Structures are given as structure tokens and as C-alpha cells.
Amino acid sequence: MDVTPDEFPTSAYIGGAWVTSKDRFAVINPATGRDIASVPNLTAEDARRAIDAASAALPAWSAKTAKERAAVLRRWYELILGESEALAQLMTAEQGKPLAESRGEVAYGASFVEWFAEEGKRAYGRTIPTTASTKRYITIKQPIGVVAAITPWNFPIAMITRKVAPALAAGCTIIVKPAEDTPLCALALAKLAEKAGVPAGVLNVVTTQDARGVGQALCADGRVRKLTFTGSTEVGKILYRQCADTVKKLTLELGGNAPLIIFDDANLEQAVAGAMASKYRNAGQTCVCANRILVQAGIYDRFASALAAAAEKLVVGPGASTGVNLGPLINAEAIAKVESLMADAVQKGGTVKTGGAKDAAGSLFYKPTVLTGVTADMDIVSQEIFGPVAALIKFETDDEAIALANSTPFGLAAYLFSQNIHRAWTAAEKLEAGMVGVNEGIFSNEVVPFGGVKESGLGREGAAEGLDEYLETKFICLGGM
């Protein structure tokens, strides 16, 4: 069937079968508070059934040639694009982001399927010059095996395709546990994968509210050879520990506290546009959002005024409404966190230049906010905001900016704006982050590696590095030559 907002799978997907259960939970539209649908609330035992299915499907799928797997992935990519509008509307309904952003995410998510369909053909080994005339040395790349993927709610299509596409391209099979807030996009993707010819058991989707129990089942089973997770550092550390007993390979894309540095020689218009794109996309609910905006004293007042003026032009409302570019936060806990961080900052001397309160659009909407006079003792500096609040910190020297930017256990993304190439290059080298945008507020795409350093995670997604995460290197020594 075609996937539309009114007609999409509401059953889990295990071993090529659509699975239901008596216990179900509601999927809620954050803009309206109304139920969209209900999906099965599966258990740890169901997760083990999915591992059974993935294990059974692994030999045949891994035995296919890279070209054969690429053909299936290519069909999946084309089906995703063919249903792009329906998928975008579904995403906006369950996640809340404006429809324009949802359309962009569908295309972004599909791009990983297209990229890895081709990149899987380039899982090259190598020959190594021998150390003895009777021996020859060769390496080959082989799929790591069954993979478990735990994905977040903020990018409910792209964070799945960025994991599933390289896994399938490499010859692995996979179990996906989507976030309980946004399971419908995952199920829609599974339906299109089935239609594309992905064999039974190669892709499985387990919907659940028992994240702890299902996560433990996936981590404890020795047949699962890799775990890939996008989410909070707190949960990532728990999963890291749980995978230790079976020594799984891990890709962890965890929390961030991204600095965005505006040097006083920056192009003001360019810097404001970059900060807007980085800070307010998805209502500030991305792991690479600018969390701390560090502005040099010489440009601070002009930048603050220009950013506030730009933020005031944003239209807040339900994502499906025409002209809206700032949707709701995902749930009540998210709103409560933003309000708590704002209250602490204001109590400690911060000044609200614009916004600073809930929006009249609904209980989960927050006004685009610019906060000035932010200091290091405020909670908003050390915690990931995950909301539409731009926290501006003044600095004097380049060394001070770098020290402030690096004064965090996190190191996912960083941004800087300067027209001086020497200053920009030097700062980019010194910033402790896995990704740095120079005069650019959005940099992620399928052909570049995505990932962090320090407590922001392990491994990379996207690019050639993203395929390597699902492959083992085997050395073969040919003797008696």
C-alpha cells in the first residue's frame, strides 16, 4: 500500500510479518495534543524474536553481492522519494516540525540510502607487501553481523536511514527500536523497504515504551555484534556498559553543547543567518544546535540586536500550517526543561532581549528567544537546551573564546564566523569537536562523516567512514607460495 498520513502501518515489523499486541500505546501530535494512532507496546521477548529473525536472515543477505544489495537499496530510495510528501506530512504529524523541514528531512534521509547503495560496492580490501617470499598478505571486508539500532525522535527518518542503509549495504541485518514519540515514520520506512524487496528478517522494527527492557535484551544478546545509538550521553553510557559483556562494536552519537563563535571581523549578515539556521531549526531540538553563542565584544551589541530582529520574524505554530517555521517542542518535559533553564539564567542576571515565554499557539510552543548577559555559572551554559533559546556570551580575545568553547565534556559540533582565514583555520583546529562549520550554520550531509569527540560519542555516520562502522577487516595469510 502507499503510505499516507491517514493510511500507514501501525503494527511492528519482525521477520517480514506485521506484528501486533494487546498492549498498545498512543502516538500523539505535539501540536494538537491529539492521538494520531496506536502501535504495539512490545517486550524484551519480542526483541529477542527480532534477533532470531535477523540472525536467520543474515547468511542469505550477507551472501548477496554488493551489487545485488545495491539494487534493493536503490528501489527503497526511489520509493521513499515517491512517497516524500506523504512521509513529510506523517513526520510533521507525529514529530511537530514545520512541513518544509519535514520535506527537507525526507530528502536528507533518502540521500543516505542512495549514497550507501553505491558505497557498499566499494568495501575494498587490500594486498600488503609480503615479509617472506613464501607468503602473501590480503585483507577483505566482511559484514559485522546482526546490528541493533536505537534511534531518536528529533529526526525520525534520517536517523534511521543513516544507520539502516550502511548496515544493509555492508551485508548486515538490523533491528530498529525507534523512539516511542515517533514510531510511525519508522514503520512507514519498513513498509517501503518491504515493497522494495528487502527480504524478511533483514530489517525489523520493534515499537515499545519499555526502552530499558528492550535495550537490555538487545545489548545482552551475543548474536547482536553491533549497537548504533543516537540519543543522550546519559543513556549512551548505560548502553556502553551493557554492551561490555558481549564486546559489541559501538557507534554512539550522543549529546552536544555546541559553541558558535562570532568573531568581530565576521560578516554580520552571514553570521546572523548562520546562527538562525543552527539555533532555531527543529525548534532548537537537534544535537548540533548552537547551544552557546560566543560573541566578541566589538560586535556583540550589533549581533544581539540583529539576531533578535531575525528571531522575531519567525512564525510559531503547528507545523502543518502555511508559513510556519517554528513548531512545538516534543513533549511537556521538553518545555519544562527550557522554562527551568530560562528561570535560572534570568535569576542569575541574564536579560531577555526577545521571547522568553511560552507562545500562545499551544502548551508545547515556546517563543524564539534571545538571551543576553549569559555567564558561565548559568545552567543554560552547561546543559543542552533543546529548545529555541539563543544564549549569548560576550568574550574579548580569541584565546578566551576557544577556552570557553572547549570548557565542556562534550565535543560534537562547533561553529565559527570570521572573514580572516588565518583566524578561522586556527580556531577550527583548536576547537574540540568532531565537526566544525566555518561561516556555515548547517553542514551535515550524506557524503561527510558525522560524529563527535569526548563524551559526544564514538564512531562516525555518513561518508565512507559510515560504511566501515558495519564491516570487519579480515586478514588472510597465504602460505606455501
Three-state secondary structure call for residue 362: coil
DSSP 402-451: HHHHH-SSEESEEEEE-S-HHHHHHHHHHS-SSEEEES-S----TTS-B-
pLDDT band at 2 (very low <50, low <70, confident <90, very high): very low
- Contact predicate 242/220, CB 8 Å: yes
Q: Where are the beta strands (DSSP E) in 282-424?
A: 290-296, 351-354, 369-372, 389-395, 410-411, 413-417
Q: E strand or H helix at 65, and its extent?
A: none
Q: What's the CA gap between 340 and 394, in Å, rounded? A: 22
In the chain, the amino acid numbered 183 is P
Q: Where are the beta strands (DSSP E) in 272-408?
A: 290-296, 351-354, 369-372, 389-395
| Annotation says 253 is catalytic | yes
The residue ranking higher by pLDDT, 7 or 421, is 421
Mean pLDDT of the region 192-211: 98
Best CA proximity match to 161, nearest among 444, 436, 455: 444
Mean pLDDT of the region 16-34: 96
The percent of residues above 90 in pLDDT, for the chain, comes to 98
pLDDT band at 3 (very low <50, low <70, confident <90, very high): very low
Number of alpha carbons in the 13 Å side-chain half-sphere of residue 472: 15
Cell of 243: 554492551
Could you tell me where the DSSP H helices lie in 96-203?
Answer: 99-119, 158-170, 183-196
Best CA proximity match to 281, nearest among 323, 327, 315: 327
pLDDT band at 6 (very low <50, low <70, confident <90, very high): low
- Contact predicate 424/439, CB 8 Å: yes
Q: What's the CA gap between 210 and 227, in Å, rounded? A: 18
Q: What's the CA gap between 330 and 29, in Å, rounded? A: 9
Q: What's the CA gap between 455 and 236, in Å, rounded? A: 9
Residue ranges of domains in the chain, CATH in brackets: 12-254+456-478 (3.40.605.10), 258-446 (3.40.309.10)
Mean pLDDT of the region 194-219: 98
In the chain, the amino acid numbered 392 is L
Best CA proximity match to 303, nearest among 268, 259, 278, 274: 268
Mean pLDDT of the region 8-29: 96
In the chain, the amino acid numbered 463 is A
Best CA proximity match to 164, nearest among 207, 240, 226, 113: 113
End-to-end CA distance of the chain: 57
C-beta neighbour count of 75 within 10 angstroms: 18
pLDDT in tens, 225-267: 999 999 999 999 999 999 999 999 999 999 999 999 999 999 9
Parallel, antiparallel or unpaired: strands 146-150 and 173-177 = parallel
pLDDT in tens, 340-399: 999 999 999 999 999 999 999 999 999 999 999 999 999 999 999 999 999 999 999 999
CA angle 367, 371, 374 (to 5 degrees): 150
pLDDT band at 10 (very low <50, low <70, confident <90, very high): very high
- Contact predicate 380/391, CB 8 Å: yes
Best CA proximity match to 372, nearest among 351, 343, 349, 396: 351
Q: Where are the beta strands (DSSP E) in 45-172?
A: 126-128, 136-143, 146-150
pLDDT at 167 over 70: yes
* Residue among 287, 384, 461, 469 flagged as catalytic: 287
Mean pLDDT of the region 150-160: 98
Q: Where are the beta strands (DSSP E) in 255-412?
A: 258-262, 290-296, 351-354, 369-372, 389-395, 410-411
C-beta neighbour count of 409 within 10 angstroms: 12
pLDDT at position 7? 72
pLDDT in tens, 87-143: 999 999 999 999 999 999 999 999 999 999 999 999 999 999 999 999 999 999 999
Q: What's the CA gap between 405 and 73, in Å, rounded? A: 40
Which pTM does this prediction carry?
0.96
Computed over every residue of the chain, the mean pLDDT equals 97
Q: E strand or H helix at 251, and its extent?
A: strand 249-253
pLDDT at 5 over 60: no
* Residue among 253, 384, 446, 455 flagged as catalytic: 253
Q: E strand or H helix at 203, and its extent?
A: strand 203-205
- Contact predicate 210/88, CB 8 Å: no
| Annotation says 287 is catalytic | yes
Chain position carrying cell 546562527: 275
Cell of 70: 545495491
Best CA proximity match to 414, nearest among 386, 393, 435: 435
